[in-house]
Amino acid sequence: MSLDDFLKAAREFLPILLQGMGMTVLVTLCALVLATLLGVVWALMRTSGVRWLVWPAMAFTNTIRGIPILVQLFYIYFVLPELGLDLTAFQAGVIGLGIAYSAYMGEVFRSGILAVDPGTIEAAESLGMTRARVLSRVVLPQAVRIVLPPYGNNLIMLLKDSSQASVITVAEMSTQARLIAASTFKNQEVWTLVALLYLCLSIPLIFLVSRLEKRFGRR
């Protein structure tokens, strides 16, 4: 593959790949919101100290982490319609990725909560603060600083794993690349472009997480 061939392929294929890139970003962001919200729920349940909350959350997160994301996507897209729940490919992709990553996010948030100095919690409780206020005013602000690096890593992994939604026909970047490569047989050019586009998405996220980590660290 010469440079001229690559540049020619880039001019020809980039418009289509960029459309897929937009879908990749949309799937990632929607799945991230779902994973974050559910992850907070699992973490709060796991750290509540209430057995009937701890055990269901533990069972769910361990089960989800033990099943490949690909299988979860297939199940949501192909099995749930047989049970009466019809979802579009986009909805199934977002829900599948969101639920899968919520298990990992839950563990990240749980570790952040547990890493908060117990002395600060005891001090807040001694001032008469309720458990909810201690959680919102003392625990969570400190936990945010702790979880930023692993949260950012999970975000980058989610961005890359969004390509798995292609197996249920979500028209994201790798889906478009596969269609182009199958019709043109220009595998080197197409997949090199895809790799570069993923890097263009991932590298800014890496720097953003690093800056946030330093900013919260100074505080």
Would you state the structure tokens that stand for residue 92, as one six-digit string?
A: 């199934």
180 vs 97: CA distance, rounded Å? 25
Residue 148: predicted pLDDT:
83
82 vs 79: CA distance, rounded Å? 5
Residues 113, 115, 119, 120, Cα dihedral to 10°: -50
Average pLDDT for 62-80: 93
Per residue in 22-59, pLDDT tens?
999 999 999 999 999 999 999 989 988 888 899 999 99
Residue 1: predicted pLDDT:
61
Residue 26: predicted pLDDT:
94
Domain ranges of the chain: 3-218
- Domain 3-218 sits in CATH at 1.10.3720.10
Residues 199, 143, 115, 65, Cα dihedral to 10°: -50
**pTM of this structure:** 0.87
The radius of gyration computed from the CA coordinates of the chain, to the nearest angstrom, equals 21
Residue 42: predicted pLDDT:
93
215 vs 219: CA distance, rounded Å? 7
> Burial level of 13, CB count in 10 A (0-12/13-18/19+)?
buried
Check pLDDT > 60 for residue 219: no
Residue 186: predicted pLDDT:
82
Average pLDDT for 103-107: 93
Instruction: Name the residue with higher pLDDT: 134 or 194.
Output: 194
Q: Answer yes or no: are the C-beta atoms of 69 and 96 closer than 8 Å.
A: yes
Secondary structure letter of residue 116 according to DSSP: S
Q: How many CA atoms lie within 13 A of 82 on its CB side?
A: 6
Residues 165, 170, 175, 176, Cα dihedral to 10°: -150
Q: Which positions ≥6 away from 173 have C-beta within 8 Å?
A: 17, 20, 21, 23, 24, 163, 194, 197, 198
Per residue in 139-182, pLDDT tens?
777 787 788 888 888 999 999 999 888 888 787 888 888 888 88
